[in-house]
Amino acid sequence: MPYPIRRNPDEWMELALECRKSGMSDKQWCSANDIKYYTFSSALKKLRRMNYEIPKAKDLDILDLTLPKQDVVKVDIVNDIQPPMEHIPEVAPHIDNSHMIEIKLGDVQISLCNGADPELVARTLSALRSFV
């Protein structure tokens, strides 16, 4: 049975920082690096008693791209696909398909359809003013 590797406090501190930067839990990191979790935990406790500042995992930027063990993932970049534009024929600016005008003057009722020519409507209204 091989003897455990003896490390000095600075070496344990380096390992602790490596562990924290990895983004893994202490157990996961120890397993991946062939270090017994109990040994690692004991070393961290001793370092704390010696006033070493051991950062918590969330204190380090685990998204730092300079860290080792970063996964590289191929990403396909696809141009945005624009949906085909519907061709809507240009409508005369005076046509408003949402309205129909009805004018009642006594016994006379005038209905103007949606496509009525604005100039014709203006002349008609002008002519009707003389009767009112």
Kindly state the tokens that stand for 98. Answer: 């949402």
- The CA distance from 78 to 75, in Å, is 9
pLDDT value at residue 1: 47
pTM, to two decimals: 0.43
Q: Which of 47, 54, 52 is nearest to 17 (CA)?
A: 54
User: Per-residue pLDDT for 2 more than 70?
Assistant: no
pLDDT band at 70 (very low <50, low <70, confident <90, very high): low
Question: What is the overall mean pLDDT for the chain?
Answer: 76
What are the tens digits of pLDDT across the range 85-125? 666 656 555 555 555 777 777 777 777 777 778 888 788 77
Residue pair 47/85 in contact by the 8 Å Cβ criterion: no
In this predicted structure, the answer to whether residue 127 has a pLDDT above a threshold of 90 is: no
Q: Which residue has the higher pLDDT, 119 or 76?
A: 119
Residue 4's pLDDT is 64
Q: Where are the alpha helices (DSSP H) in the chain?
A: 9-22, 26-32, 37-49, 118-129
